Amino acid sequence: MLHIREPRTLKKPVGASALEILDITADAAGLPAYDGHERVWCGRDEARGLTAIVAIHNTALGPALGGTRVWPHESFEAALTDALRLSRGMTYKSAIAGTPFGGGKAVIIADPKTGKTPALLSAYAEMLSVLEGQFFTAEDVGLTLADADFLRVHTANVVGTTRGGSGNPSPVTAHGVFLGLKAALAHRRGTDRLDKVGVAVQGLGAVGWALCEKLHDAGARLAVADIDAGRAARAQEAFGAEIVAAADIVGTDVDVIVPCALGGVISRATIPQLKAEIVAGSANNQLARHEDARLLMEKGVLYAPDYVINAGGLINAAAELGPGGYDREAAMERVARIPETLRDIFTRSERQGRPTSDIAAEIAMDRITAAFTR
Ligand code: NAD
């Protein structure tokens, strides 16, 4: 159990608010997931039920931009670890996608079904405002378009809303993953035809569902899993999908595994179960450990690095903050370049005998280092 020490910097909201914002960077630095993060904030408001973490990993390329996850983590330390890993991923994602933003991510510890009261969300909006543009956020697991719209009424630091913004990023993320999945298929098989290709989708939320629609339309044979049995049943009805138990989805006998739920699904424990030849999905931090990428490669599985293939939503939302404002056509053109980036990574990986995720990290780091030395 992590105990927050006395705050080194305390940001004070204006007025009589009970919200307190603590700098917990030094506490975070004691965790294995800490990776030189610039700043980690914890926002607490007991009366309004808020415990939120905003992790800012690296701002070499611009202010931090990343989604807000609402999830009932079993401990503060687990939530902090999630925020640290996710924000680091955002740094790499932005760098690879060529968006002028740094990596950040927020986690609100709450049940997304019962905990997102207007009071909690308004306390969180206040926290975002107090951070004064250090961090821009959008939807993620547990935070819906309606929630983002609600936050936008109270703070300017939210993108991906219908209140003058680019709307829900999830369908754009799904589109990018769909294009990336086809690029992986073409790389492996010489054709990107999805007709009768077996695809197992884990997680039927905002991205997973939109992706299933595209895969179904393209003729793929779907297997699905969701911890929400209702969603799986709806997918069975809508797409003729086979329902698989959540614990078994990675080992399903299909061609492509599509993780669209939470992280860590590809691990030492699950890799031996894999029958698919491709892993390509939207979930962040799909690999439990960095080294798992090599295990995948040695097993002959082509892995589309998560932060490359799932950058569509980021590209779309980031376009709101660019000069001239949001231009959907230009944003979608950039999303359409995700397959090109993946093809380059796949080719280099094969040529160099190194995991695709190592190649992706190298490209991202080169860009970040170049920004530092400019
Ligand atoms: P969501 O909250 O809308 O959906 C997540 C779904 O996964 C839910 O239906 C949930 O019940 C299910 N789920 C959770 N744990 C599961 C498990 N163990 N097995 C099966 N199902 C499980 O979230 P989303 O916005 O669709 O995001 C999905 C993933 O994609 C997340 O990892 C997110 O960080 C990542 N991502 C999302 C976006 C975006 O634009 N929304 C962009 C980039 C990355």
The verdict on 203 and 280 lying in the same domain is: yes
C-beta separation of 251 from 270 below 8 A:
yes
322 lies in a domain? no
What CATH number corresponds to the domain at position 129? 3.40.50.10860
C-alpha–C-alpha distance, residues 188 and 346, integer Å: 10
Residue ID of nearest Cα to ligand 1 atom 43: 310
The verdict on 265 and 355 lying in the same domain is: yes
The verdict on 85 and 211 lying in the same domain is: no
Residues of the chain under the 70 pLDDT cut: 1-16, 374
33, 136, 231, 256 from 78: Cα distances, Å = 10, 23, 26, 29
236 lies in a domain? yes
Q: What are the pocket residues of ligand 1 if the criterion is a CB atom closer than 6 Å to any ligand atom?
A: 139-142, 169-170, 173, 202-208, 225-228, 231, 246, 260-262, 282-284, 310, 313
The verdict on 109 and 233 lying in the same domain is: no
41 lies in a domain? yes
pLDDT value of position 357: 97
pLDDT value of position 7: 46
320 lies in a domain? no
Ligand 1 centroid to 37 CA: how many Å? 24
The count of structural domains within the chain is: 2
287 lies in a domain? yes
The verdict on 29 and 68 lying in the same domain is: yes
The verdict on 118 and 30 lying in the same domain is: yes
C-alpha–C-alpha distance, residues 259 and 304, integer Å: 11
C-alpha–C-alpha distance, residues 201 and 178, integer Å: 12
179 lies in a domain? yes
- Compute the half-sphere exposure of residue 175: CA atoms within 13 Å on the CB side of its CA: 17
φ and ψ at residue 119, rounded to 5 degrees? -65, -45
Ligand 1 centroid to 205 CA: how many Å? 5
Domain residue limits at 191: 170-310+339-366
The verdict on 17 and 107 lying in the same domain is: yes
What CATH number corresponds to the domain at position 245? 3.40.50.720
Long-range contacts made by residues 160-166, C-beta under 8 angstroms, separation at least 24? 160/313, 160/316, 160/317, 160/320, 165/317, 165/320, 165/326, 166/316, 166/317, 166/319, 166/320, 166/326, 166/328, 166/331
7, 46, 104, 200, 242 from 226: Cα distances, Å = 40, 32, 27, 11, 12
The verdict on 144 and 180 lying in the same domain is: no
The verdict on 150 and 176 lying in the same domain is: no
Look up tokens 């009768």; give the residue: 196
φ and ψ at residue 291, rounded to 5 degrees? -65, -20
The verdict on 285 and 185 lying in the same domain is: yes
Q: Which residues are catalytic?
A: 105
pLDDT value of position 6: 45
pLDDT value of position 10: 56
242 lies in a domain? yes
> Chain centroid to CA 194: how far?
25
The verdict on 183 and 286 lying in the same domain is: yes
Percent share of the chain, pLDDT over 90: 91
267 lies in a domain? yes
Which of 260, 265, 267, 314 maximizes ligand 1 atoms within 8 Å of its Cβ, making it the mutation to test the pocket?
260
The verdict on 237 and 356 lying in the same domain is: yes
pLDDT value of position 228: 96
CA neighbor of 331 nearest in space, from 83, 160, 87, 132: 160
Ligand 1 centroid to 171 CA: how many Å? 12
C-alpha–C-alpha distance, residues 166 and 189, integer Å: 35
Counting atoms of ligand 1 from 1, which one is nearest the CA of 281?
A: 30
pLDDT value of position 133: 83
Burial 199-230 (b: 16+ CB within 10 A, else e): bbbbbbbbbbbbbbebbbebebbbbbbbeeee
Ligand 1 centroid to 352 CA: how many Å? 33
pLDDT value of position 374: 66
